[in-house]
């Protein structure tokens, strides 16, 4: 990465430029030292792998209470991905260092080293916690016994409904992800074909360096690092989402209504949503019952001084100040201008959502201490359980809390027992969230209370078709009838 220079040999005779040569030698020595440090730390994976091995061996020696092998492999896979991403980051930083003024080289490199070491320590600590606290303990004799059949989905739904009716589950909490909003048609960000996958940095108001960073890592567009330097790419990307949420362009799904039904029956403890679409509030759930883990589009705030701004005023400024890179609004301005805070006058006003590199709202951590221990039944819906720290929520509930995963695919393997065995504390209901919640609502006898006019089109259609099928007379007779 660095080009090797020959050291300047000291002159034996006094010279008018001797002081300048001395400075040149000192500058060269500083560069050489920085290069050596850079070269010595170019391979973080070996360091990390050594520490990880120590943690794994330590965990294995503690009474055999080790996480499931699947979870260990998953953690190692996550660690390898993190190490690869760290290597990319180091290469970017090295490129910056190559072009940096000599006087700031040592300072910049030291800051990077400190941040890198802190990240490694945190990674190893997370692995240790996962191994020691999140191990799944199941009956070893029941692992592969074909004589113990798994419960059917109908059995599980009946069991959940029965538990609610009998008062076994008096306090129900929910952890939701993007899957509960899919039916509403809200744009997806992370999946193939989503907004990150199709991001075109060349359309955004940014310089060449910023566009290159977004091309290398699309999540840069929603990072604090970029926003504090240039908030326009973020606002341009989010423009249709901001205006759409303000107009309630997207309606609630059956998953959101199920949460409202729990509240109406006085058994909803808390909703922990990773979504920012505001559909939980639209469903009529009180804000006191909602923890917006990653923030919400329903409120505006200055990212610099945390001053809350009027939401309607913010939406109007988005219309007037931010250009439309999607070509959907001919009346949008041709050039974007920042939205200034009414208090600090800095260009930091945006929706109250959490940028990459920022901390989660304190109420998320406070609620885990105050509200989560009261939970009898935790329903995890529409999430892959891969985004920390929300993914730890199912493992922070009480030991007797029933846990139900509703998702298109399994998640949390190695930490949740997803075999649907009788007597297990964990259940897995496989399928689309709306399909499963429709069956739960019917089993609970709450189907007739659904406000069809407030549902999104896909959810409404699902309910209407279900009611039609249920109303049709059943055919009787032989196979020829």
Our CA dihedral for 269, 270, 271, 276, rounded to 10 degrees, sits at 150
Strand arrangement of the beta sheet that strand 402-407 belongs to: 290-292, 268-273, 172-176, 377-381, 402-407, 426-430
Give residue 189's pLDDT: 65
Of 39-48, 96-105, 389-398, the least confident = 39-48
Determine the Cα–Cα distance for residues 371 and 413; give it in Å rounded to an integer: 25
Question: At CA 365, angle to CA 364 and CA 370, rounded to 5?
Answer: 100
Average pLDDT on 342-369 reads: 94
**Residues designated as active site:** 294
Higher-confidence position of 58 and 151: 151
Pair 261, 449: CB distance under 8 Å: yes
Which residues have CB under 8 Å from 45's CB, separation 6+? 80, 83, 87
Q: Look over the chain and give the mean of its residue pLDDT values, rounded to a whole number.
A: 80
Structure tokens at 62: 């503690």
Query: In 283-338, where does DSSP find H-type helix?
Result: 311-321
Give residue 9's pLDDT: 43
33, pLDDT greater than 60? no
424-445 b/e with 16+ CB inside 10 Å = b? bebbbbeebbbebbbbbbbbbe
**pTM here?**
0.69
- Pick the most confident of 39-48, 60-69, 74-83, 149-158: 149-158
Determine the Cα–Cα distance for residues 32 and 408; give it in Å rounded to an integer: 54
Q: How far is CA 468 from CA 131, 316, 456, 474, in A?
A: 50, 43, 18, 12
Higher-confidence position of 351 and 47: 351
The pLDDT confidence band at residue 58, using thresholds 50, 70 and 90, is very low
Our CA dihedral for 453, 459, 464, 470, rounded to 10 degrees, sits at -140
Give residue 16's pLDDT: 45
Our CA dihedral for 204, 210, 212, 216, rounded to 10 degrees, sits at -100
Q: How far is CA 141 from CA 83, 138, 144, in A?
A: 38, 9, 8
H or E stretch at 352: strand 349-353
5, pLDDT greater than 90? no
83, pLDDT greater than 80? no
Give residue 415's pLDDT: 80
Which residues have CB under 8 Å from 120's CB, separation 6+? 44, 47, 48, 51
Size of the chain in residues:
481
59, pLDDT greater than 50? no
pLDDT tens, position by position, 136-187: 444 433 445 566 789 999 999 999 999 999 999 999 999 999 999 999 998 6
pLDDT tens, position by position, 266-299: 999 999 999 999 999 999 999 999 999 999 998 9
Question: Rounded to the nearest 10 degrees, what angle do helices 102-133 and 44-60 cross at?
Answer: 20
Structure tokens at 255: 């998953």
Which residues make beta-bridge pairs with 350? 301
pLDDT tens, position by position, 206-255: 999 999 999 999 989 999 999 999 999 999 999 999 999 999 999 999 99
Give the strand pairing for 295-302 and 268-273.
Answer: unpaired
């Amino acid at each position: 990465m660095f080009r090797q220079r020959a050291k300047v040999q000291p002159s034996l005779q006094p010279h008018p430029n001797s002081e300048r040569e001395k400075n040149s030698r000192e500058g060269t020595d500083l560069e050489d030292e920085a290069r050596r440090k850079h070269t010595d730390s170019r391979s973080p994976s070996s360091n990390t792998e050594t520490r990880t091995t120590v943690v794994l061996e330590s965990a294995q020696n503690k009474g055999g209470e080790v996480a499931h092998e699947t979870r260990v492999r998953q953690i190692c896979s996550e660690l390898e991905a993190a190490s690869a991403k760290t290597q990319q980051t180091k290469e970017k930083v090295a490129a910056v260092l190559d072009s940096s003024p000599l006087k700031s080289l040592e300072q910049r490199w030291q800051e990077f080293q400190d941040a890198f070491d802190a990240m490694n320590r945190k990674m190893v600590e997370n692995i240790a916690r996962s191994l020691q606290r999140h191990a799944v303990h199941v009956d070893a004799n029941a692992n592969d016994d074909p004589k113990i059949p798994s419960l059917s989905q109908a059995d599980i739904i009946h069991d959940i409904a029965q538990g609610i009716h009998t008062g076994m589950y008096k306090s129900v909490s929910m952890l939701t992800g993007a899957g509960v909003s899919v039916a509403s048609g809200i744009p997806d960000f992370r999946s193939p074909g989503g907004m990150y996958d199709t991001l075109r940095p060349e359309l955004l108001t940014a310089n060449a360096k910023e566009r290159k960073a977004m091309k290398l890592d699309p999540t840069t567009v929603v990072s604090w690092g970029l926003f504090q330097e240039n908030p326009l790419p973020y606002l341009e990307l989010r423009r249709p989402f901001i205006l759409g949420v303000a107009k309630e362009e997207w309606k609630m799904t059956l998953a959101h209504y199920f949460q409202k039904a729990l509240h109406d029956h006085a058994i909803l403890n808390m909703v922990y949503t990773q979504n920012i679409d505001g559909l939980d509030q639209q469903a009529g759930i009180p804000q006191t019952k909602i923890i917006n883990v990653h923030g919400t589009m329903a409120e505006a705030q200055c990212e610099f001084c945390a001053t809350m701004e009027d939401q309607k005023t913010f939406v109007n400024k988005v219309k007037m100040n931010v250009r439309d890179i999607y070509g959907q609004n001919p009346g949008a301005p041709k050039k974007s201008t920042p939205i200034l805070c009414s208090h600090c006058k800095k260009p930091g006003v945006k929706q109250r959502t959490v940028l990459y590199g920022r901390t989660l709202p304190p109420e998320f951590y406070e609620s885990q201490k105050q509200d989560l221990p009261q939970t009898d039944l935790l329903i995890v819906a529409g999430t892959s359980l891969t985004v920390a720290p929300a993914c730890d929520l199912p493992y922070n509930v009480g030991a007797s809390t029933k846990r139900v995963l509703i998702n298109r695919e399994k998640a949390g393997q190695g930490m949740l027992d997803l075999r649907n065995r009788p007597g297990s504390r964990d259940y897995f209901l496989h399928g689309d969230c709306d399909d499963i919640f429709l069956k739960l609502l019917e089993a609970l006898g709450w189907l007739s209370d659904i406000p069809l006019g407030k549902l999104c089109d896909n959810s409404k259609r699902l309910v209407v078709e279900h009611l039609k099928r249920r109303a049709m007379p059943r055919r009787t007779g032989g196979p020829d009838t």
